[in-house]
Amino acid sequence: MNRMKTYDVPHKGLRNALSQLSLLAGKTNYSNQKEVEQLHNLGVDVFKLLTIHAADEDEVTLAELEKHCPGCSEHDMEDHKEIHASQVKLEASLLMLYNASKLNNDVTADGAEFYLSLSEFHGKYLEHTAEEERVTQPLLWKYFTDEELASHRGKIMAKNPPETLMIWFRFVIPAQSHAERVGLFTGFQKMASPEFFDKGMNVIKQVLTEVEYAELQIALCYTWS
């Protein structure tokens, strides 16, 4: 039987987000103010999602697991603390780059350091998420039914403001297969107002290929835009 995968949707999105940030940090011309600003703007969104995701796991997924299996959430929570500490440093470096660049400084040397530190962070983050999927996911399957796991996802959705969902869509939706996109957006279509659904479709139109978007439109019988 195929069980519900707790981490699949957010982790695919976060891997996409971090890869985009890494790519952009590598090709940014750090003597160009506009390019540094673009990197900063992407970084702000990516780091925001990482923070939200860690809180979602700590406050919902791991908190629920801890109730059934005391001590089982400890390792991941410790990882989150370590990741957060490295992330805070990266966020500060990015802000420093942005501010210095705005004052017309060439920040090439600091940009190279940011790129390398981001790469180290990226590596650790990938390892952490894979471990959650290999080690924590089986524990979640052991202690919860799929209905209960779905209710955890519902709690996470309810605790975050709707604008956050739009940032998630930008990174999550292109990282899914067509069938997964249809599944996610069928659910979204059921719970969202028509205006909010239009907003979501508009966001993902910018990040999917024309063919991917057209196929999704057909599958959802969606005619707007």
Binding region for Fe ion (CB under 5 A)? 57
Min dist. Cβ of residue 71 to Fe ion (A) = 17
* C-beta closer to Fe ion: residue 77 or 219: 77
Residue nearest to Fe ion (CB): 57
Structure tokens at 126: 């990938």
Cβ–Cβ < 8 Å for 103, 93 = no
Nearer residue to Fe ion within complex by CB, 90 or 107: 90
* Shortest distance, position 11 Cβ to Fe ion, whole Å: 8
Q: Determine the Cα–Cα distance for residues 48 and 174; give it in Å rounded to an integer.
A: 19
Q: How far apart are CA 222 and CA 198, in angstroms?
A: 9
Q: Residues in the chain, how many?
A: 225
- For 122, the enclosing helix (H) or strand (E) is helix 108-131
Minimum CB distance to Fe ion smaller for 57 or for 64? 57
- Shortest Å, Cβ 128 to Fe ion: 6
Cα dihedral 153, 137, 45, 31, rounded to 10, equals -170
Instruction: Name the residue nearer to Fe ion (CB basis): 31 or 160.
Output: 160
To Fe ion, the closest distance from the beta carbon of 206 in angstroms equals 27
